[in-house]
């Protein structure tokens, strides 16, 4: 276990000395919240699971980025090398074969769907897997019979909080299993369906709720997670119930702790994306054997080739340049707007995850002009916003009509009952992700850049539309992931690496995922938002993140769990008492850490 001795030695001794001079003060309300969390939320005290612990192989992350961006990139990439070690055995195992066979049976039956369910990063992954499936039938329609084209609708996804959560995290929804059950019921999950529940750590209540409903209603059920199953069974009742359910096949693909402690959007979700997309493509190729020649003979070898490309001199040089470019823009209080088409869903996963992971402003709706602009945003130059949502998902978005009564029946906190989250379809389309002008991303910033992203190839139609839309920005940058291409105009960031083709374009999507995991995490590390290999700027928007914030204070401050909880809730109380209109809301964890260091 890594204890970040340098950080603790430098700071904790001073903190302990000053703390004896001035006792920590905390309101009775904050103390009560801390006591309630300690006594009544033990199922969310998750420090025992590996995905919430720091990884010894990246313990020097903060120090490496201080030495050089290249050293930091090399450190971050070590974590990804854990994935093929595990996945080689998973792909050769009978449970993977059972998953693929179940998918094939579903597709060959008169009805039934392959349904993915997740929350947060895995919810966005579930949407991505469905869209990859649908996109194949869109791209290859001319090669398919009418009966084959009809298979496009035989995949679906459940995102905790509805599809709105693709673009903005929906607070607290993941803590409620009953909410997951209701979403599964709304999709009419049942007999004939292959149901794949994906949860990074294996413990997300809402996802386990969808799984429970699916199992009760006759679906063939699979549970995918990234922690040792025996550990989860021993500590968490909800996990034990799911793992021991005879109607559920468990795929435990544990591949170690994350490169950034607790950031399960990294190796956990990457390995789950590899598993889900390869299973889906294997099923596709069995149902339509003529496409089998386009898929990889060995998925692990294909993934290792992708890692090798990112680790090559051309791959790392591009990642270094991308990180230094983003860092330079943000340090000048600027904003970046990515222009993309093929990989918009992948970018939304990265952009949306940045907010709770590093306490950055979330993506902003066009009606919320009083809120701070997100540091990064994504737009599609080919379509207006309403059409773009449909094009991106290859279907109409599935959003929730959530009311005060819904919040009350789920026993959510009072603030959700008083003010239900705005997560309807009409709310989703206020996020202007299409080709409309975006002066709010340009005006008033010392630096404002449009970054035109392509992956694998550079379609002329997209390039022309992107150039046209980007012309409004003072800075325009070409960003290409894939083999070298001729004629790159403007300043260019190029992650030069081979990317194999496949029917579902598995390796393109994974290339974007792995590259942007490194880019966004590396940028934050280079900007000082990482301590050791812990994210020291973290939102506390759900119970798992509250526990993570408390444990961070324990780790970096050398104090008890109880005192850390009190300090965190006291900091949250102060943040909520202030007016942050037009400003970035500060991180309660950072406020607590600062006060701790100052002995307050």
Q: Which of 35-39, 161-165, 347-351 has the lowest mean pLDDT?
A: 347-351
Give start and end residues of each alpha helix (H) in 41-119: 61-67, 69-80, 82-91, 94-108
125 or 488: which leads in pLDDT: 125
Q: What is the pLDDT of residues 151-179, one digit of tens each?
A: 999 999 999 999 999 988 787 788 899 99
Instruction: Give yes or no for residue 538 having a pLDDT over 90.
Output: no
Q: With contact defined as beta carbons under 8 Å apart, do 305 and 91 qualify?
A: no
- Predicted pLDDT of residue 351: 87
Buried b / exposed e over 364-383, threshold 16 CB at 10 Å, is bbeeeeebbbbbbbbbbbbb
Q: With contact defined as beta carbons under 8 Å apart, do 11 and 556 qualify?
A: yes
Compute the distance between CA of residue 237 and CA of residue 244 in angstroms, rounded to an integer: 11
Instruction: Give yes or no for residue 11 having a pLDDT over 50.
Output: no
> Has domain 78-308 been given CATH number 3.30.420.40?
no
Q: What is the pLDDT of residues 491-504, one digit of tens each?
A: 689 999 999 999 99
Give start and end residues of each alpha helix (H) in 332-486: 344-358, 385-393, 404-409, 414-418, 425-428, 460-470
581 or 193: which leads in pLDDT: 193
Q: What are phi and psi of 241, to 5 degrees?
A: -60, -40
Q: With contact defined as beta carbons under 8 Å apart, do 450 and 473 qualify?
A: yes
Q: What is the pLDDT of residues 451-466, one digit of tens each?
A: 999 999 999 999 999 9
- Predicted pLDDT of residue 488: 66
A 10 A CB-CB count for 231 gives 16
332 or 590: which leads in pLDDT: 332
Q: What is the pLDDT of residues 219-266, one digit of tens each?
A: 999 999 999 999 999 988 999 999 999 999 999 999 999 999 888 899
Q: With contact defined as beta carbons under 8 Å apart, do 137 and 281 qualify?
A: no
- Predicted pLDDT of residue 531: 84
- Predicted pLDDT of residue 36: 94
Eight-state DSSP code of residue 261: B
Q: How far is CA 214 from CA 77, 92, 463, in A?
A: 37, 27, 43
Compute the distance between CA of residue 78 and CA of residue 259 in angstroms, rounded to an integer: 8
- Predicted pLDDT of residue 23: 53
Rounded to whole angstroms, the maximal C-alpha distance in the chain is: 78
Total residues found in the chain within this entry? 600
Q: Which of 15-29, 85-99, 266-280 has the lowest mean pLDDT?
A: 15-29
Q: What are phi and psi of 599, to 5 degrees?
A: 75, 25
3-state class (DSSP) for residue 36: helix
- Predicted pLDDT of residue 490: 64
Q: With contact defined as beta carbons under 8 Å apart, do 104 and 286 qualify?
A: yes
Q: How far is CA 195 from CA 16, 226, 362, in A?
A: 52, 18, 31
Q: With contact defined as beta carbons under 8 Å apart, do 537 and 549 qualify?
A: no
Instruction: Give yes or no for residue 486 having a pLDDT over 90.
Output: no
| Entry pTM | 0.89
Compute the distance between CA of residue 518 and CA of residue 495 in angstroms, rounded to an integer: 12
- Which stretch, 173-177, 206-210, 409-413, has highest mean pLDDT? 206-210
22 or 130: which leads in pLDDT: 130
13 or 221: which leads in pLDDT: 221
Instruction: Give yes or no for residue 508 having a pLDDT over 70.
Output: yes
Instruction: Give yes or no for residue 42 having a pLDDT over 90.
Output: no
Q: How far is CA 193 from CA 103, 215, 238, 407, 599, in A?
A: 8, 10, 23, 29, 57
- Which stretch, 9-13, 65-69, 368-372, has highest mean pLDDT? 65-69
- Predicted pLDDT of residue 247: 98
Q: Within its chain, how far is the Cα of 367 from the centroid?
A: 25
- Predicted pLDDT of residue 18: 34
Query: So where are the chain's domains?
Result: 5-67+543-597, 78-308, 311-504
Q: What are phi and psi of 587, to 5 degrees?
A: -85, 120
Q: What is the pLDDT of residues 325-341, one digit of tens each?
A: 999 999 999 999 999 99
Q: How far is CA 19 from CA 4, 590, 600, in A?
A: 21, 18, 7
Instruction: Name the residue among 517, 557, 409 with its Cα closest to residue 79.
Output: 517
Q: What is the pLDDT of residues 261-298, one digit of tens each?
A: 888 899 999 999 999 999 999 999 999 999 999 999 99
The bridge status of strand 335-339 relative to strand 114-118 is: unpaired
């009952």: which residue's tokens?
A: 417
Q: With contact defined as beta carbons under 8 Å apart, do 497 and 77 qualify?
A: no
Q: With contact defined as beta carbons under 8 Å apart, do 352 and 168 qualify?
A: yes
Q: With contact defined as beta carbons under 8 Å apart, do 545 and 539 qualify?
A: yes
Q: How far is CA 465 from CA 384, 434, 493, 555, in A?
A: 12, 11, 19, 49
Task: Tell me the pLDDT band of 51, cut-offs 50, 70 and 90.
Answer: confident
Q: Within its chain, how far is the Cα of 36 from the centroid?
A: 29
Compute the distance between CA of residue 96 and CA of residue 409 in angstroms, rounded to an integer: 38
73 or 557: which leads in pLDDT: 73
Average pLDDT over residues 562-588: 90
Q: Which of 56-70, 351-365, 500-514, 515-529 has the lowest mean pLDDT?
A: 351-365
Instruction: Give yes or no for residue 105 having a pLDDT over 80.
Output: yes
Instruction: Give yes or no for residue 2 having a pLDDT over 50.
Output: no
Q: Which of 17-21, 104-108, 344-348, 562-566 has the lowest mean pLDDT?
A: 17-21
Average pLDDT over residues 98-115: 97
């Amino acid at each position: 276990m890594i204890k970040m001795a340098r950080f603790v030695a430098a700071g904790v001794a001073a903190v302990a000395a000053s703390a004896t001079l001035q006792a920590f003060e905390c309101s009775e309300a904050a103390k009560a919240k801390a006591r309630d969390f300690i006594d009544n939320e033990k199922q969310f005290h998750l420090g025992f699971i590996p995905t919430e612990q720091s990884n010894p192989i990246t313990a020097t992350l903060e120090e490496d980025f201080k030495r050089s961006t290249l050293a930091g990139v090399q450190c971050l990439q070590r974590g990804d090398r854990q994935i093929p070690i595990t996945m080689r055995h998973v792909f050769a195992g009978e449970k993977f074969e059972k998953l693929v066979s179940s998918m094939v049976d579903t597709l060959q039956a008169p009805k039934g769907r392959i349904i993915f369910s997740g929350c947060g990063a895995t919810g966005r992954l579930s949407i991505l897997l469905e869209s990859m499936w649908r996109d194949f039938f869109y791209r290859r329609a001319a090669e398919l019979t009418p009966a084959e084209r009809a298979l496009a609708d035989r995949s679906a996804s459940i995102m905790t909080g509805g599809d709105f959560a693709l673009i903005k995290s929906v607070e607290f929804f993941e803590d409620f299993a009953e909410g997951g059950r209701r979403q599964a019921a709304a999709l009419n999950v049942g007999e004939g369906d292959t149901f794949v529940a994906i949860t990074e750590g294996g413990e997300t209540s809402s996802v386990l709720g969808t799984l429970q409903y699916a199992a009760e209603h006759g679906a063939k059920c699979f549970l995918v997670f990234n922690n040792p199953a025996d550990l989860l069974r021993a500590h968490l009742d909800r996990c034990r119930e799911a793992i021991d359910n005879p109607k559920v096949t468990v795929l435990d693909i544990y591949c170690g702790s994350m490169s950034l402690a607790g950031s399960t959007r990294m190796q956990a979700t990457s390995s789950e994306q590899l598993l889900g997309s390869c299973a889906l493509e294997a099923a596709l190729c069995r149902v339509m054997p003529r496409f089998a020649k386009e898929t990889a003979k060995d998925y692990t070898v294909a993934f290792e080739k992708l890692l090798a490309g990112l680790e090559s001199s051309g791959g790392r040089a591009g990642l270094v340049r991308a990180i230094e470019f983003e860092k330079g823009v943000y340090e000048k209080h600027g904003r970046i707007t990515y222009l993309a088409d093929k990989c918009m869903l992948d970018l939304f996963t990265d952009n949306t995850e940045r907010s709770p992971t590093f306490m950055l402003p979330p993506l902003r709706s066009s009606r919320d002009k009083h809120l701070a602009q997100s540091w990064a945003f994504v737009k599609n130059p080919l379509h207006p916003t309403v059409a773009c949502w449909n094009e991106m998902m290859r279907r109409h978005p599935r959003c929730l009509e959530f009311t005060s009564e819904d919040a009350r029946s789920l026993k959510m906190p009072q603030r959700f009952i008083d003010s239900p989250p705005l997560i309807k379809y009409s709310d989703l389309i206020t996020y202007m992700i299409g080709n409309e002008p975006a002066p709010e991303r340009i005006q008033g910033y010392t630096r404002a850049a449009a970054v035109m992203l392509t992956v694998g190839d550079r379609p002329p139609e997209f390039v022309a539309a992107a150039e046209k839309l980007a012309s409004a920005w003072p800075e325009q940058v070409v960003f290409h992931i894939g083999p070298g291409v001729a004629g790159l105009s403007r300043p260019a960031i190029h992650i030069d690496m081979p990317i194999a083709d496949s029917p579902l374009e598995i390796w393109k999507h994974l290339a974007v995922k792995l590259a942007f995991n490194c880019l966004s995490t590396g940028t934050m590390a280079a900007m000082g938002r990482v301590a050791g290999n812990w994210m020291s700027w973290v939102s506390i928007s759900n119970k798992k993140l509250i526990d993570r914030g408390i444990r961070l204070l324990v780790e970096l401050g050398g104090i008890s769990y109880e005192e850390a909880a009190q300090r965190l809730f006291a900091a949250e109380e102060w943040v909520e008492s202030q007016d942050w209109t037009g400003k970035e809301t500060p991180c309660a964890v950072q406020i607590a850490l600062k006060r701790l260091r100052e002995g307050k």
